[in-house]
Amino acid sequence: MGLESGVKKLGFGLMRLPKKGRDIDIEQVREMVDLFMKNGFTYFDTAWAYAGSEEAIRKALVERYPRDSFTIATKCAAWIDCKTREDAIGQFETSLKQTGAGYFDFYLFHNLGQNRTAYFDRFNVWDFVKKKKAEGKIRHIGFSFHSTPEELDTILNEHPEMEFVQLQINYADWENPSVQSRANYEMARKHGKPIVIMEPVKGGLLAEPPENVAAVLKEAEPDMSCASWAIRFAASLPGVITVLSGMSSVAQMEDNLSYMKDFSELDRKQHETIKKAQDALAEVRLIPCTTCNYCAKVCPNNIGISGTFTAMNMLTLYGNMERAVRQENWGVGRLGKKRASECLKCGKCEQVCPQHIAIREKLQRASETFGS
């Protein structure tokens, strides 16, 4: 039986956990974990790079449930602040300590592709994870990926020991030439690798899509949430281990569980609705930021990139400058970030952006728009 057998098709992505002020709301996370587990779901996805996430899942899950009742995936980001091999492989022990998990069911190289892969090569993290797997500290090894199908092909040819791939797949990016969801999915399938799906709702965009897209979905199924269409689309693909949803409230958890508890794949008519939604979405030109904030981890001048892009998208969607300015003030200034006009144009952000956004160009436009 493959990795995709026996795992329910909804995973709890732990990058966007609920906050109380600036801290993760552990009590709400516990409530969400309890609902998730009660309904038979067991896959939890975190990462060394997700601030506070590993500690939160220790408190909400690991310290409260038997270890064999759940599955934990975490990730090594050798391209973040690693100057030596010890820095890179040290993330593994840090993650073990922060999660208290004892071992990891799934251990991933975080965001392979482009210049980031070279860090894992230089520090030979490949052999390290194979050693940890042999020791029983890792059950399955794989990687998350946001680059081209050609590069994915190269990595899988050079490292056939990788057991699975985590890919950004959603109906908005299925044919997006910058993301190439379909082409990357097909490449992973060509190599016989099962897939964990991330960003099925594209950082929340498909949970609250533009009005013309929402109208298509609501006309087809008035009682189903827009997010449900995105997650069911992803979960209907063959060869999928699970679909990660970065839930940040009990309400989002309850909605996801309502249709994924007894999941049925989309039928022909529902796929036709998805095609109509794709066509409607193509009419709206938004900055494809998912607020992953990888850019923030490498920006030397603390620019509020994702907050700026959220405000720009709000202006595009609603045409309300006053509302967009308020959003920019809240999402940038009040969070202690610098504004778009202070960008140094060094380009480090663009090297790590999973969405391949021309960040410097968009920040320049934002600076002109908001006068910041």
Which residue, among 125, 33, 131, 129, has the nearest Cα to 84 in the 3D structure?
A: 125
Tell me the average pLDDT across 320-346.
Answer: 88
Helices (H), 205-358: 211-220, 226-235, 250-260, 268-281, 294-298, 305-318, 321-331, 348-352
22 pLDDT above the threshold of 90: no
Tell me the average pLDDT across 117-138.
Answer: 97
172-193 residue pLDDT tens: 989 988 789 999 999 999 999 9
Q: What is the mean pLDDT of the chain?
A: 94
131-164 residue pLDDT tens: 999 999 999 999 999 999 999 999 999 999 999 9
Please tell me the predicted confidence (pLDDT) of residue 188: 98
Tell me the average pLDDT across 64-83.
Answer: 96
C-alpha–C-alpha distance, residues 118 and 300, integer Å = 21
Tell me the average pLDDT across 202-227.
Answer: 93
CATH topology of domain 10-281: TIM Barrel (3.20.20)
Q: Residue 13: enclosing H or E segment and its boundaries?
A: strand 10-13
Domain locations along the chain: 10-281, 294-370
